[in-house]
Amino acid sequence: MNLALKALIGALMVLLIGVLSRTRNYYIAGLLPLFPTFALMAHYIVGSERGVADLKATIVFGVWAMAPYLAYLISLYWLVDRLPLVPALLVALIVWCGVAAAAVLLWQRH
């Protein structure tokens, strides 16, 4: 049941993004993926199973985790004028992966 609820939430978010992208306020569709659905789940699970110290470390790492998304957005903004949409998205995704890997590696050395 828990997995079905998570799938339902994900499907609802996709529907909301699709609906919002067709409205006069289409840009709000870019805000919905940032709703902390999965962060809430992760923080609840870590906080209830591992304790406050590990939860605080997870929160601090979450701040680091914003860097890959920012790199994705900046690279996509630059790429959409230079490449067709799908290749621009793929390259921006590769940028996200690279920055995310760097964030994890730097965190592990911390």
Helix (H, G, I), strand (E, B) or coil at 25: coil
Residues near 24 by Cβ (< 8 Å), separated by ≥ 6?
Answer: none
Q: pLDDT grade, residue 1 (50/70/90)?
A: low
Q: What are the structure tokens assigned to 57, written together?
A: 């470390």
**8 A C-beta contact, residue 19 and residue 43:** no
Whether the per-residue pLDDT at 23 is higher than 80: the answer is yes
Specify the pLDDT at position 36.
86
Residue 64, phi then psi, degrees to nearest 5:
-60, -35
Phi-psi sector, 83: left (phi>0), alpha (psi -120 to 50), beta: beta
Q: Which residue has the higher pLDDT, 4 or 94?
A: 94
**8 A C-beta contact, residue 91 and residue 75:** yes
Mean pLDDT over 73-100 rounds to 98
Specify the pLDDT at position 91.
98
| 47-86 pLDDT tens trace | 999 999 999 999 999 999 899 999 999 999 999 999 999 9
The percent helix, strand, coil of the chain (3-state, each to 5) is: 85, 0, 15
| 32-54 pLDDT tens trace | 888 887 888 899 999 999 999 99
